[in-house]
Amino acid sequence: MLLVAEPVLGPEERAAAVAVLESGWITLGEQVRKFERAFAERHGAEDAVAVDSCTAALHLTLKALGIGPGDEVLVPSMTFVATVNAILYVGADPVMVDIEALERPLMSIDDAASRVTPRTRAVMLMHYAGHLTDAGPWRALCARHDLLLIEDSAHAVGIPGVGQYGDGAAFSFYGNKNMTTAEGGMVLMPKPELLERARQMRGHGMTRSVLQRLVARTPHYDVDMLGHNYRMDEIRAAIGLVQLGRLDDMNARRAALVGMYNERLAPLEQRHDGFHVPRPRSGISAHHIMPIVLPGGADRDRIAAEMHEAGVQTTIHYPPVHTLSYYRQRAPGIRLPLTEEFHRRELTLPLHPNMEESDVELVIGTLENVLESAFEPS
Ligand SMILES: *Cc1c(COP(=O)(O)O)cnc(C)c1O
């Protein structure tokens, strides 16, 4: 089965993990610190805070920025549920925004602007598929209304400028992301004092970590804020350091595969009305996933089933958050027409650096066959 996503892990990751196991120090320590510094440098930041998931990173970012009850945060509904959940964790109200177009499934700035109220405190961007959001217009909108700008950068690790758009950014190292530590995440914040707040909140709000107490030769610590246990461990950090070193190669491989896909999908876009391959307006992408938009009349579930039959896994990114039962019960009646249409027609094709050109051929060949029989030509 050709999978939608697959981690790239080899002997170096294994050796790094084993070295930590043999070192005698397995929880937050030097490896985590090294990983944070290397990750920050890679993204043009001063420093970073490693955590155990992107969800934790989003939570800490919002909390360190002081976003809370009474505040509204503009956020796309076309994202993974964790992006919106984090806003609820701090007691703020997510205000879900439509996408720009079927071909550009990033949050619409016009729709966002129309939803600004006196309670709006922040904008949460998400670089869907790794397609880079244009920073300029969002910065201008935020400046105009005095809003904080936050990035859910789970799809766009390693791309210059990502994580530097505004006031904070969260990254994911989950198993299907562009680089992985199995589970893991990272916080970037340009203001050192806020980043240090996030660091302290990561470890129960304690003023000194176990390692710091060891180095300082004191058993004493205080807790002066409500914290969490969102720590990353040494094993993951050591694997993360290796993955970070391969990130450019892995992202370049993704770009090459997307190039092949685009070339082979262009004729389908010509032939089938309403068939779209979303591309970033910015022209820049981390190519995290390979989404396509099927023609309006196509039976997506049947296409997915037939592709599965041919050994090609596909999936859907994403069921819109505002349509999930929990969110529907919380805030019924929300309609985001483009987001809903995109969700009805989106299909995610396999994309990971282990793929060969022949895999792309298999996907395209299968898709071509299936498309011919999957809907009534208009
Ligand atoms: C994967 C993902 C997350 C959650 O990441 P975890 O590390 O699993 O918590 C959040 N937002 C987006 C857009 C994601 O793709």
Which tops the pLDDT comparison, 336 or 209? 336
CA 271 – ligand 1 centroid, Å: 35
pLDDT in tens, 116-175: 999 999 999 999 999 999 999 999 999 999 999 999 999 999 999 999 999 999 999 999
Is residue 61 within 8 Å of 90, Cβ to Cβ? no
Which tops the pLDDT comparison, 212 or 232? 232
CATH, range 11-246: 3.40.640.10
Two structure tokens written together for 282: 């910015």
Provide mean pLDDT across the span 211-220: 86
- Could you tell me the fold of the domain covering 248-372? Aspartate Aminotransferase, domain 1 (3.90.1150)
pLDDT in tens, 228-253: 999 999 999 999 999 999 999 999 99
Residue among 319, 317, 280, 302 at smallest CA distance from 367: 302
* Active site residue ranges: 177
- Evaluate if residue 378 carries a pLDDT over 60: no
Structure confidence at residue 374 (pLDDT)? 67
For the chain, helix (H) and strand (E) counts, in that order, are 13, 11
Residue 121, SS3 per DSSP: strand
Is residue 228 within 8 Å of 57, Cβ to Cβ? no
- Evaluate if residue 26 carries a pLDDT over 90: yes
CA 122 – ligand 1 centroid, Å: 19
Domain definitions of the chain by residue range? 11-246, 248-372
Q: Which residues line ligand 1 (CB under 6 A)?
A: 53-55, 79-80, 82-83, 126, 152, 154-155, 172, 174, 185
pLDDT in tens, 286-304: 999 999 999 998 999 999 9
Ligand 1, pocket-test mutation among 4, 51, 53, 54, most atoms within 8 A of CB = 54
- Evaluate if residue 179 carries a pLDDT over 90: yes
Task: Please check whether the two domains, 11-246 and 248-372, share a CATH topology.
Answer: no
pTM over 0.75: yes
Is residue 231 within 8 Å of 52, Cβ to Cβ? yes
Ligand 1, pocket-test mutation among 51, 52, 55, most atoms within 8 A of CB = 55
